[in-house]
Amino acid sequence: MFNDAVAARKQAHEQGLPYPTTAVLSKALITEAKRTPERAWLAEVSAAILQQALADADRAYRNFFTSIKGKRAGARMGPPRFKRRTHAQSIRFTRNAKFRVLDNGRLRLPKIGDMRVAWSRELPSAPSSVTVVKTPTGKYYASFVVAVDDGADLLEPLADPEAETGIDLGLKDFAVLRGGKVIENPKFFGKLERKLKKAQRVLARKAKGSVNRAKARIRVAKVHEKIKHTRSDWIDKQVKTLVGENQALYVEDLNVKGLARGRHAKSIHDAAFGMFLVRLESKASRAGRTFVKVDRFFPSTMLCSLCGVSDGPSGVQGLRVRSWMCGCGAVHDRDQNAEINIRREGKRMVAEGRSDTLNASGQDVRPGRPGRPGNPREGQNEEPTRSGAAQAAPEPGIAVL
């Protein structure tokens, strides 16, 4: 249904016709299509999930139009593309579809029936929608959308004024916290990479369309699923611990997309820095903690935390330097020094009221403007870098490791 909607709109665009609305597509692709022998099978499922597929396609086009007009934050979006067949599937039922959670704990879905559910928790309120997901390993999950109180996850403020930390992310250690505390990099993918290679080798030798190939595919999917679930669970536990032990959290705004295109791409994807930062920000916001993103161009690694002189290791070669001596005589551990600088810069941003991370599309994002208070590059006559050019340069993004 999603692909039919994309095809119909592409055809209308090529022929110079107006943009087909969802109501027009619903009549043509659902109501009238059910009467044809080729698409009579559409009547076997609830019309609600077909309508949701059309709504998803329309939302994708709206986001695309908003993006090309410059009204949408973030990177420029392309037009919707056709979805390919995969072994992961999902359907969504809204309240209009009249799904129900029964008193006996079963989930009643239109044209499917009553489903037994192994509940992970009790629903805090009546759900407004449910999405049923089938994973590549053949497991089914039901995800509900519910309304909760704004202050349901608020934590009590910590009395200790020193209960705050900077977070310096890296590959050698996943994170370095205040006082030299280290969170080791678990390397979930690396630990199961040999097992995955073996399963993929067995899959490649099976005949296409055979039963044995289907079994081998599931074995590969199970390895990927274990990596995914183990990583997600570990990140959730780290986020909960950090938010519970600190009143303020200061992190560096890493260019994760840029890092994932470099020579350490596999390790960057395995570490899941983007997932960690998103969940940490969300959890901190709901818990009432202070969360600040320090600008990615702030020289946290090169800056001496004692004298403030920026003469530390830089560039790709500087990644191999784990400790260095400043001209003032101080010897720094690379990551611990970066954590101190990130924490100080975050506290300064809070004091100046600049703790909110805003989208600086088209504006100057480098903090190195001459004459700025507290600027480590003050006095240097360098031209501020535009945001587009800054993101294209790989050196600043790699040096933070």
263-285 tens-digit pLDDT: 889 999 999 999 999 999 999 99
Site of tokens 């805003």: 358
Cross-strand partners of 100: 108
Evaluate whether the domain defined by 164-186+227-399 bears CATH number 3.30.420. Answer: yes
Whether residue 371 contacts residue 384, with contact meaning beta carbons closer than 8 Å, is answered with no
Mean pLDDT value across residues 174-195: 93
> Residue 157 is encoded by which pair of tokens?
């403020």
Residue ranges of alpha helices (H) inside 135-263 are 188-204, 211-245, 256-259
From 164, 252, 270, 281, the catalytic residue: 252
Q: Which residues pair with 89 in a beta bridge?
A: 134
State the pLDDT confidence band at 187, using cuts at 50, 70 and 90.
Answer: very high
Residue 80 pLDDT exceeds 90? yes
Q: How far apart are CA 340 and CA 299, in angstroms?
A: 12
Does residue 168 have an active-site annotation? yes
Q: How many other CB atoms sit within 10 Å of the CB of residue 141?
A: 13
Letter for the amino acid at 127? Answer: P
> Strand 129-134 relative to strand 140-145: parallel, antiparallel, unpaired?
antiparallel
Q: What are the φ/ψ torsions at residue 74 (nearest 5 degrees)? A: 95, -170
3-state secondary structure (DSSP) of residue 167: strand
CA angle 200, 203, 204 (to 5 degrees): 90
Q: If we measure between CA atoms, which residue out of 6, 54, 11 comes closest to residue 30?
A: 54
Mean pLDDT score, 367-388: 38
Question: Rounded distance, CA 170 to CA 122, Å?
Answer: 37
The predicted-structure confidence for 221-264, as pLDDT tens digits, reads as follows 999 999 999 999 999 999 999 999 999 999 998 888 888 888 88
The angle subtended at Cα 113 by Cα 110 and Cα 114, nearest 5°, is: 120
Q: Is 252 an active-site residue?
A: yes
Active-site annotation holder among 4, 58, 164, 168: 168
pLDDT digits (tens, 9 = 90+) for 101-128: 999 999 999 999 999 999 999 999 999 9
Q: Which of 4, 270, 335, 345 is catalytic?
A: 335
Mean of the per-residue pLDDT values of the chain: 85
Predicted confidence at residue 300, as pLDDT, reads 84
Confidence band of 356 (pLDDT split at 50, 70, 90): low
Range picked from 159-163, 245-249, 295-299, 379-383 for highest mean pLDDT? 245-249
Residue spans of alpha helices (H) in 85-181: none
Q: Where in the chain is the domain with CATH 3.30.420?
A: 164-186+227-399
Query: What number of other Cβ atoms are within 10 A of residue 117's Cβ?
Result: 14
pTM of the complete model: 0.80
373 pLDDT more than 50: no
